[in-house]
Chain A
């Protein structure tokens, strides 16, 4: 067994996985990763189950040190500078920390959440099948709260498997797609159009419970109190002040404000990765389109292992370069510890 010690970490960072399903009827929110694709990609790189628990790192920096042996990890999600003792580490790759080495991650450059998956997964005691932190309910393991410097994980010793990178599709920069409802009939056409045609920004006061949207005030037809009913990830509710809130993974399981629209499953992670202050728009799609996109998104995640690439491909290129008689330059480019840079897509 090795240990991975949290040397430093910013707020809004916690252990997350695929979420805690099946107990919403008791008010237990599912929690889980804000960006499921990135969680799955990081896990895939180190051979874990795709929705195994990983460290969800918020917008600020973090550093992790291997102790009592080597630890193999992978990073995916919001891009940020990463290095081991000055040696750059690319996003969407695995890397092995030798005993005593520290992986340092900078602030998110665009987006918010980056996932650090650990080979063999995070050890803990699942509740309702999940290690995901839900601080309000006192749930999550090994720490039922956001991570702090000094926390540590007991982890498998690094397997020595060859490092991998994963080729992910270019993230879309298009509008966030929504299906109208369930309570779009609580708004008149003008206000529905205002919602769909306006530019929105995510407020800095947003968190894993909900993203507050800054833009025009959306007015209700019959007031803002409805009888509480169920919510989903991506429900966009409109409270009395007219400023919509997109409910995220730590949402209450029910809510008493009309929900004008719901972000489609394929775009919830994209919304989660929209930085505070960045302008974006919504776009209405039909149920058929939304379900088609949901199926494609599930397939993309299922087939992530097909997108893994070894670094051998790079080595082959170097052989080709050697053949072309430019060997000295090319070889030093990989040997001098810049290996990871070459792998960056």
Chain B
């Protein structure tokens, strides 16, 4: 199988970055190859590459054109991408508490209506999911998750909100998300977590890494307030499950 992996597309992103695209759609195999290429670059650094940014389906590689040109870099990336995937390693798993609905999840009822069911049922389906951090992006710590139950797939909002709260747990299209900072969003807001996936002056500053597994569990709003204070003081709050 390893020998038959199709090569990724090399898409120029200006003169100092290249997008190594494995798929146009959200695809678990493509994401694995993205993360594998990212790891391969970390293991055997290419002179001139300044940083790499994994996303669902592509790896954005920033580089210094004063050190390496597009063509040479492209060849090296294609060679690395054609390597067989390393055997799957056991990923870290995070259990993330979420206060669903009410002021913390203002779209929960509308989502339930749109899907002809009850808010409790939406929560049950969301909690039942086994997710993977496919990428982190847009704003610090915003973790994009693959693995959303098909029955929860729905288009993003027509009118994105200009500001959604820190800690928002939301769904959009076929994706689920953990949002860390207050930010604009067109996704549907199901709840909020006290967990900070990004917190300055905490060790670690960033909690999640691409490839981590995630599950959610419901907490009441009073517990949210308590954990939110603890998290503000620097506690991680999320439960890490070591396999």
Contacts and interface: CB of A to CB of B under 8 A. Distances in A.
A27 B70 CA distance: 25
B70 A232 contact: no
Contacts of B21: 182, 229
Nearest to B182: A136
**Interface size of B as a range:** 35 or more
Contacts of B69: 291
Contacts of A293: 15
B198 A26 contact: yes
A86 interface: no
B65 A291 contact: yes
Interface in B143-168: 144, 156
A338 interface: no
Contacts of B56: 227-229
Given A226-B24, A262-B14, A265-B14, 6 more contacts: A22-B50, A24-B60, A181-B11, A228-B138, A254-B53, A290-B14
Contact of B25 (A24, A227, A259): A227
A253 B51 CA distance: 12
B55 A182 contact: no
B51 A24 contact: yes
Interface in B125-155: 135-142, 144
B111 interface: no
- Residue of A29, A225, A254, A262 with most partner-chain B CB within 10 A: A254
Given A127-B200, A229-B19, A230-B19, A25 B65 contact: no
A149 interface: no
Given A182-B19, A232-B13, A263-B14, A227 B57 contact: yes
B14 A264 contact: yes
B81 to A, nearest CB: 16
Given A228-B135, A254-B135, A28 B15 contact: no
A27 B26 contact: no
Nearest to B69: A291
Contact of A227 (B13, B24, B136): B24
Contacts of A233: 14
A277 B16 CA distance: 29
Interface of A: 21-29, 127, 136-139, 179-183, 225-235, 252-255, 259, 262-265, 287, 290-291, 293-295, 298
Contact of B60 (A23, A139, A226, A232): A232
A234 B53 contact: no
Nearest to A295: B66
Contacts of B137: 24, 27, 228, 230, 252-254
B17 A295 contact: no
Interface in B64-89: 64-66, 69-70
B138 A254 contact: yes
Contacts of A136: 139, 181, 183
B215 interface: no
B206 to A, nearest CB: 4
A225 B158 CA distance: 12
B170 interface: no
A179 B54 contact: no
Interface of B: 11-17, 19, 21, 24-26, 38, 50-60, 62, 64-66, 69-70, 135-142, 144, 156, 173, 180-181, 183, 198, 200, 205-206, 210
Nearest to A138: B200
A263 B38 CA distance: 25
B15 A179 contact: yes
Contact of A182 (B11, B50, B62, B198): B11
Nearest to B186: A256
B144 to A, nearest CB: 7
A227 B15 CA distance: 22
Contact of B138 (A127, A183, A255, A264): A255
A20 to B, nearest CB: 10
B14 A230 contact: no
A22 B53 CA distance: 9
9 contacts: A22-B51, A137-B139, A227-B25, A229-B19, A230-B53, A230-B137, A232-B60, A259-B13, A294-B16
Nearest to A181: B12
A183 B14 CA distance: 11
Contacts of A183: 11
Contacts of B70: 287, 291
Nearest to A263: B14
A136 B164 CA distance: 13
A181 B24 contact: no
A25 B142 CA distance: 10
B181 A262 contact: no
Contacts of A25: 38, 51-54, 136, 210
B144 A228 contact: yes
Contact of B14 (A21, A26, A234): A234
A291 B38 CA distance: 24
Top 10 closest A-B pairs, CB basis?
A: A230-B60, A254-B137, A262-B14, A182-B11, A290-B15, A252-B138, A291-B65, A26-B206, A230-B53, A229-B55
